[in-house]
Amino acid sequence: MVDDERMIRWSIQQALSKDGHSVAAVETGEEAVAQASDEMPDLVFLDITLPGIDGVEVLRRLKSIEPSVSVVMVTATDDVKTAVEAMRLGAYDYVSKPFDLDRLRVIAQNALDRHDLRQEVEFHRKESVKKYGFHRIVGVSKRLSDVVEIARKVARSEAATVLLQGESGTGKDLLAQAIHYESRRANRPFIPINCTALPTELLESELMGHEKGAFTDAKAGKKGLFEVADGGTIYLDEIGDMKVDLQAKMLRFIETKTFKRVGGHRDIEVDVRIIAATNKDLPGAVRSGAFREDLFYRLNVIPIEMPALRERREDILPLADHFLALLNHDVKREVPGFTPETLSALREYDWPGNVREMRNLIERGLILGEGEYLEIRPSSGLAGRQSPKVPANTEGGMDRGAAGTAAGTTVGTTDTETVGAGVDPHTGATGGGIAAMFTLPSRGVVLEEVERSFIVQALEMQGGNQTKAAELLGLTRDALRYRMKKFELL
């Protein structure tokens, strides 16, 4: 409570304290700003006429510290115009002196309820960003960084349409979610629709809704997803499979932001962003007549191409580390890393199924394997049993360098840990050439001391960069950190 009249401060403090609120009362605007800087209250009753800085200036300063704070202006009858102006600056409401304490208590409770709701919405928005933001798109390659940078700019913009292109499994759905949840639309719905999942008639009804009696079984009117998503984002997956007659209605909607329900005559206007995705060659579909040229150009205002995993091989191991950590948690395992043979196979495999294929492969290995380290090895079996096979592309999906390593291999886990000294830091494979460089002294060695020494040397050679040190040792970063903790190097 900010007021220069002691009795007003006291009476409001007493009334609100009885309702269970903790109330602090100050006399000047300077005191209010100083106290709010230490601990911002949920609600401020602020007199407009104060000694020193006036209430409107106090409001500006409070809002600069915490934009979400609720402020109720307290004014004399002849200051109502000023109070209305204060509401334009962000005040929640105003009360005029002399005021009714019961009305004041209702205003206080309504303002606090609103404040709580805004905090809850902001909490869920932040949680959504954590869950769906750009950080989920894992990789270090320039190609991926360029894609994410463009997507970030799109998220901050008011772009009405975005076209995501790329092979199946490259992560177009993740990118669409990130664009939505890191935009001003994050508090409104994100609605994904697979254009191949429904026949044209049902898809139109789902998107645009229908009026009562529009067709058999339409016993009541129904809002379409365009209406439900108002203010948010519609994600049209596999738009290349949308039938031509529905494409015409989609074009009209994008151009006018209006549509009619099935069986309806009234135009309904909404504000939605359209993110369309396809793994098809849309220009080719335009040439063949399977996709409307005018719709293509409407969608293609901001095209984003998601690169295939084989086109950004430097992202393979970071993605593998990411999925191992993520899936360890999901399947209740604690596998610290991959064997060197696995790293080599992961790097060389052509990944025709892209990121989705990698996730499925690692998940399968964690579920079916029982040893300490995740391993890809010959299909002779896992601990005497048949292991899940790494899918080999019989139509040339694996490059020539991978053919001898990953084709016909299996994934599992192994209890055998390969010592870093016997690992080729470039291929991740064990080999007699490198191993032969180190001769076991006749007096023997303490193997853990040797391992610790190599870890220290690798870290020193790479200036403490754990990712690069892990590559030198044929390990993933997680496996290196596991060893660093073991040897108390972290």
What residues form DSSP beta bridges with 397?
none
Sheet bearing 70-75, strands edge to edge: 43-47, 70-75, 93-96
What's residue 234's pLDDT? 94
- Mean pLDDT score of the chain: 80
For the cut 70, the answer to whether the pLDDT of residue 405 exceeds it is no
For the cut 60, the answer to whether the pLDDT of residue 169 exceeds it is yes
What's residue 442's pLDDT? 67
Mean pLDDT of the 192-211 span: 83
For the cut 80, the answer to whether the pLDDT of residue 157 exceeds it is yes
Overall pTM > 0.85:
no
The gap from C-alpha 319 to its chain's centroid, in whole angstroms, comes to 16
What's residue 288's pLDDT? 93
Per-residue burial over 124-151, b if 16 or more Cβ lie within 10 Å, else e, is eeeebeeebbbebbbbebebbeebbebb
Cα distance between residue 185 and residue 230, in whole Å: 10
Model confidence at 410, pLDDT cuts 50, 70, 90, reads very low
Instruction: Please give the sequence-ordered ranges of beta strands (E in DSSP) within 176-269, or none if there are none.
Output: 190-194, 209-210, 222-223, 233-237, 258-259, 268-269
Q: What residue segments make up the domains of the chain, in order of their start?
A: 6-125, 133-307, 311-417, 436-490
- Report residue 236: phi and psi, to 5°: -95, 95
First to last CA, the chain: 51
- Per-residue pLDDT tens digits for 101-115: 888 888 888 888 887
Q: Does the domain made of 6-125 have the CATH classification 3.40.50.2300?
A: yes
What's residue 456's pLDDT? 87
Model confidence at 124, pLDDT cuts 50, 70, 90, reads low
- Per-residue pLDDT tens digits for 456-487: 888 888 888 888 888 888 887 778 887 888 88
Architecture of domain 311-417: Orthogonal Bundle (1.10)
For the cut 70, the answer to whether the pLDDT of residue 351 exceeds it is yes
Fold for domain 133-307? Rossmann fold (3.40.50)
For the cut 70, the answer to whether the pLDDT of residue 378 exceeds it is no
Amino acid sitting at position 311 = E
CB 32 within 8 A of CB 58: yes
- Report residue 104: phi and psi, to 5°: -60, -40
What's residue 123's pLDDT? 62
Cα distance between residue 46 and residue 55, in whole Å: 6
What's residue 436's pLDDT? 47
Helices (H), 170-243: 172-181, 200-208, 225-228
**Of 38-52, 149-163, 191-205, 259-273, where does mean pLDDT reach its minimum?**
191-205
For the cut 90, the answer to whether the pLDDT of residue 145 exceeds it is yes
SS3 state of residue 156: helix
Which of the following CATH numbers is that of domain 436-490: 1.10.630.10, 2.60.40.1220, 1.10.10.60, 1.10.287.130?
Answer: 1.10.10.60
What's residue 283's pLDDT? 93
In terms of pLDDT, which residue wins out, 138 or 388? 138
What's residue 32's pLDDT? 92
Model confidence at 121, pLDDT cuts 50, 70, 90, reads low
Cα distance between residue 167 and residue 305, in whole Å: 9
For the cut 50, the answer to whether the pLDDT of residue 389 exceeds it is no
Residue whose pair of structure tokens reads 């939505």 in the numeric block = 180
6-125 and 436-490 share one fold: no
Mean pLDDT of the 393-411 span: 34
Mean pLDDT of the 139-155 span: 95
What's residue 380's pLDDT? 27
